[in-house]
A and B are shown apart, each in its own frame.
Chain A
Amino acid sequence: MSHTLYAFMTGLGFQLALAICLAGTLFKLGLFFKRVIKKDAAFLTFFSFWYASRSILFHLIPFASRNSRLNPQMTTISTIFHAAVITLPLFYSAHAVLLSDSGILFLPRFPEIVSDTLAVAGVAALLFFMGRRLLLRDVRFISSLMDYLLLGSLMVLFSSALWARFQMPGFLLASLIHIIAGNLLIASIPFTRLSHIFYMPITRGYAGSEFGGVRMVKDW
């Protein structure tokens, strides 16, 4: 049973998750631009790839923006977390094997030490994020059930990965959980806060376009 589920989740299930993610993203972006054309002429008029990219870069490069310098801890931890969450799905050896076996992508593979370190750092970062959410008054105030669920799912994803990787007792179950959680998270990207992955270039980009192009001021 778990074998069929495993096969499904790494095969058709994964493809389905990817398809939902892509279709959902395209749908959301399509809807966004359809409404932009109808309702927000200013967006198209003022959006500038130059100023958008400038602003996005200054906000992504750690310690380039004033706020990232004011919060060095958060900047460091969040950079490491994002590095882990973006690279591990592609370059962790087991993932890379799955990807190349299914003929989707042929990618270089991280040495074990790199992926292990990133995964452990990822868990630590998630604990830090959860700590902030629970302990900092302003973050707790704006946190909703969905925010906790999202963090929880990411924790399950990372810790089950480590569990399976180090073959601790019950690792088969752990890897199944990992794969299910991964697929669910991929599929949920367009419909949850994870949508910041594709909205960020639009939202930060538009802010950068207005500040840079219209108001002639830097915005980082």
Chain B
Amino acid sequence: MTESNQRIIDADDKGLDAGLALFDEAKVRRIIKKVVDEEASPRLKAYLSTCVHCGLCSDSCHYYLSRDKDPAYSPAGKVKECLLPLISGKKITPAILKKAAVVAYTRCNLCKRCSLYCTLGVDIAYLISVVRRICHLCGVVPHYIQDTANSHSATFNQMWIKDDEWLDCLYWQEEEAREEMPEISIPVEHEGADVMYSVIGPEPKFRAQLIYQAAVIMEKAGINWTFPGTRGWDNSDMCMYTGDYETMGRLKKAHFDTAIRLKVNRIVMGECGHAFRSVFDTGNRYIGWKTPPIPIVHAVEFYHELLTENKITIKKKLATPVTFHDPCNIVRGSGLHEMARTVVGHICETLIEMEPNREHNFCCGAGGGVINCGPPFKNERVLGNRVKAEQLMAAKAKGADIVITPCHNCHGGLEDIIQHYGIDMEIKFLSDIIYETMEI
């Protein structure tokens, strides 16, 4: 038995097991046929036919590098491990389906770095997404991320937050902010505002201070903005990652519909990578929009606008040297790396770069829903990103004490890496530092 097979058996997840308990090969085959022959783009077959098995994409993947070049973790190796057994025409067993699910959900961040490294342009992330779609339709999805998808489906947010809890949180944060700025308010359902500000579910649940900070920044910048008071406030989307595209479509439609109902000019999104991908690139397509029906502005672009147009003033730049982790969903997802550096330049004295950076960055290891697969796969995830730890250590050695990253998921991923590899670094959002350094 190879090392990689041993890992599979170690993976004990009640979501996967519950789905596999209902395993019926004929049904699984029907699903695969439907996905491959009817749903998937013909690019799927073109990729499989064109990939010359050269292995030149191997070194582009942080999993492969971090796992001592175990070939099962290379991009093309992962396709061999999860997609090929499902479409080879040979017998499919529960073990084969489980392995496909584990590889597709927990060993690829869909970060698309490898697509920059394959001359032939094989989109490995797309191939892995097809496996996830098959697993979703088979009901074989890791428990934690499926729970999140269920929450999306039932509440239109990621964290089972009830409609009144959302409003309570906004009022609570408004009260907190008023201690500092008595005149401040957090506008809700303000029709005709310029900006609808949308956040991800974990903000009101775990990082409510971000809502307060955003309100202060908006107030000082004189932005005419509003939060939605209804469903549609959460821009996040784990369904895009489980393969539940129908729910993804419902979520994005609710989000856009809310902005249109509020008659705003644009949606500004908090510092999140995957939500941006869903709203800007994936979800909009699913519901038939080439580009989002309303302009989408990521927090990085928004802060760039506020700082370069002098809408907020920085008192004194942060003296502590920082490094910047590029979230793949906004660099390979929207080329925001230079804007992000301009923002950092406005608020910090010293930026120490990690190598490689910008569109060639390594993912944090949390993306693509991998962190949302929860504790059963945490170890796999942290071990799978030793290269990020090495990048952080190198930045630390050059003096960086803070790592900034404008993405919630990256925060989660980097936190675990920093803790596991014992790196003495603090992680911050851009808004944390803007709030700390701006004139209030």
Contact = CB atoms under 8 A, between A and B. Distances in A.
Do A and B pair up? The answer is yes
A207 B117 CA distance: 11
Contact of A206 (B43, B55, B334): B43
Contacts of B120: 196, 199-200, 203-204
A142 B127 CA distance: 15
B228 to A, nearest CB: 26
Given A193-B52, A199-B120, A203-B47, A141 B80 contact: yes
Interface in A1-52: 31-32, 35-36, 39-40, 42-43, 45-46
Interface stretch (B21-29, B57-65, B128-136, B383-391): B57-65
Given A193-B51, A203-B121, A70 B335 contact: no
Nearest to A129: B54
B121 A66 contact: no
B359 interface: yes
A17 B405 CA distance: 56
B290 interface: yes
A200 B50 contact: yes
A39 B42 contact: yes
Given A74-B56, A200-B50, A203-B121, A142 B42 contact: no
Chain A interface residue count: which class?
A: 35 or more
Interface in A64-81: 65-68, 70-71, 74
Contacts of A70: 59
A36 B69 contact: no
A143 to B, nearest CB: 5
A197 B74 CA distance: 24
Contacts of B359: 217-219
Nearest to A197: B50
A218 B338 CA distance: 12
A215 B281 contact: yes
B1 to A, nearest CB: 16
Nearest to B49: A195
B307 to A, nearest CB: 20
B55 A39 contact: no
B42 A141 contact: no
B85 interface: no
Q: Which of B39, B58, B117 has the most CB of A within 10 A?
A: B117
B331 interface: yes
B115 A219 contact: yes
Contacts of B80: 141-142
Nearest to B45: A32
Contacts of B332: 211, 215, 217, 219
A10 to B, nearest CB: 29
Given A199-B49, A203-B122, A207-B115, A139 B39 contact: no
Interface in B79-102: 80
B64 to A, nearest CB: 7
A147 B121 contact: no
A101 interface: no
B119 interface: yes
A85 B133 CA distance: 40
Contacts of B50: 193, 195-196, 199-200, 203
Nearest to A35: B42
B218 to A, nearest CB: 26
A137 B77 CA distance: 11
Contacts of B41: 35-36, 39-40, 42-43
A107 interface: no
Nearest to A137: B71
Contacts of A219: 115-116, 332, 359
Contacts of A175: none
A205 B71 CA distance: 28
Nearest to B332: A217
B285 interface: yes
B123 interface: yes
Nearest to B60: A67
Given A31-B42, A36-B42, A207-B121, A215 B333 contact: yes
Contacts of A45: 290
Interface in B329-369: 331-335, 337, 356, 359-360
B121 A40 contact: no
Interface string B130-157: 0000000000000000000000000000
Contacts of B52: 147, 193, 196
B312 interface: no
B281 to A, nearest CB: 6
A141 B335 CA distance: 34
A216 interface: yes
Interface in B238-289: 281, 285
A202 interface: yes
Nearest to B78: A142
A83 interface: no
B71 to A, nearest CB: 3
Nearest to B41: A40
Q: Which of B45, B54, B360 has the most CB of A within 10 A?
A: B54
A195 B45 CA distance: 11
Q: Which of B45, B118, B121 has the most CB of A within 10 A?
A: B121
B76 interface: yes
27 contacts: A32-B42, A32-B46, A36-B42, A39-B39, A39-B40, A45-B290, A67-B118, A74-B56, A139-B54, A139-B55, A142-B53, A142-B55, A143-B53, A147-B52, A193-B53, A196-B51, A196-B120, A199-B50, A200-B119, A200-B120, A203-B43, A203-B120, A204-B119, A206-B121, A207-B121, A215-B335, A217-B333
Given A67-B118, A215-B334, 11 more contacts: A59-B121, A138-B74, A147-B53, A199-B46, A200-B119, A203-B47, A203-B120, A206-B43, A217-B331, A217-B334, A220-B116
4 shortest interchain CB distances as A-B pairs: A204-B121, A141-B71, A217-B335, A207-B121
